Amino acid sequence: MKPPSRVAALCFNRTVQLGSDSDLASLESILDGENVVDVQAIESLALQTYQGFPATSRPETSANWARRIDIVDKLVVSRRLQTGGFFTPDVVPAPVAGAREVVEALGLPVVHKPRVASGGQGASIIDTLGELQRVMSTGGNSDAYLFERHLDGRSLQFSGVIGGGHGGPVVTYETLRREGRTGPAHEVLSIDDPELAETGRKIAAHLGIEGMINVDVIRDAQGRDWVHDVNPRVWGSFASFSVVGVDFLGAYVDWLRGVPEATSRRGIQEETRIDVLPGAFLRQEPSESRVQVQARLARAVLPYLRWVGPRYVAYELVHNLKQK
């Protein structure tokens, strides 16, 4: 675990430092007396987190968390979506006998990624047989990984707050620019795509997801949407949609409270380019100084002051500047 951030201690009501992942097993005692209504956990820590305090929540909440645990494994999700009639790219679970076996099944280029990860962490697109052999010989051929058919097409996403009789806002959008070839989006284009929105809702229902959800698809030349990632948690561009009038934070709070959807919180229909905070603003061009990068990020953060409050904005600003 990373050392605690001093600014986090100043910005939030309570922060707790854990020494290692195994300490998540003690969450029930750490949160004793708290009314835990939901948890947002990255996939790599979801199992330990959700299992850490099952007795601190309501039965329906614990059941929702249990369903999230089931689908953090990308191989499990792929197989479950196939049974529901959704299009998913062909996959070959590791380990396999050799690189040629993968190429014969999936062709080249091929996607290599961890079965449990988030934000494209550990994922790569492999273009040649030699590169594939190197990846497999350096730890990438264990049962923690899978190989996936690479598909050409538009990178589209569905995101929203849904479930439990709560309509909630949803958005559909295209990824225009991202970190590397597989990383988080840095720029998106909102689009009005009722068909993708309906697919996203059906996926949530099929997998039993309630609350926040993000679905990544590749739309091929025939217009088919191939689902390659499902995230039952807050997604990277969550906050960025607030600047174009989509109040996901308010909708999430309403869902936690069981409040019906507010009309003003429905998703947007017009096409709008959105720079995703903070990633879109952190790249330093050769002609820029570090001070200029810091200033650009500060300007980008300002619209969020009223929406999420100055303490959270201060944390994000200082935290990301420390990473430069």
Highest mean pLDDT among 48-62, 77-91, 287-301: 77-91
Predicted confidence at residue 264, as pLDDT, reads 40
Predicted confidence at residue 112, as pLDDT, reads 98
CA separation, residue 13 to residues 7, 109, 214, 254 (Å): 12, 48, 28, 22
- Give the pLDDT mean for 208-215: 93
Contact 17, 3 (CB under 8 A): yes
Superfamily of 154-322 according to CATH: ATP-grasp fold, B domain (3.30.470.20)
Predicted confidence at residue 175, as pLDDT, reads 92
Highest mean pLDDT among 13-27, 31-45, 104-118: 104-118
CATH number of 90-149, picked from 1.10.268.10, 3.30.1490.20, 1.10.10.10, 3.50.50.60: 3.30.1490.20
Which residues are paired to 111 by β-bridges? 125, 148
Q: In this predicted model, which residue has the larger pLDDT, 102 or 166?
A: 102
Q: In this predicted model, which residue has the larger pLDDT, 10 or 118?
A: 118
* Average of per-residue pLDDT values in the chain: 86
The model's confidence at residue 223, banded by pLDDT at 50, 70 and 90, is very high
**Segment 176-188, tens digit of pLDDT:** 998 888 888 889 9
Residue at 176: amino acid letter: L
Contact 230, 203 (CB under 8 A): yes
Check pLDDT > 90 for residue 29. Answer: no
Residue 63 CA to residue 248 CA, distance in Å, equals 23
Check pLDDT > 70 for residue 320. Answer: no
Predicted confidence at residue 301, as pLDDT, reads 80
Predicted confidence at residue 36, as pLDDT, reads 84
Check pLDDT > 70 for residue 201. Answer: yes
Question: Domain map of the chain by residue range?
Answer: 18-70, 90-149, 154-322
Q: In this predicted model, which residue has the larger pLDDT, 277 or 238?
A: 238
**Segment 135-147, tens digit of pLDDT:** 999 999 999 999 9
Predicted confidence at residue 299, as pLDDT, reads 84
- Secondary structure letter of residue 119 according to DSSP: T
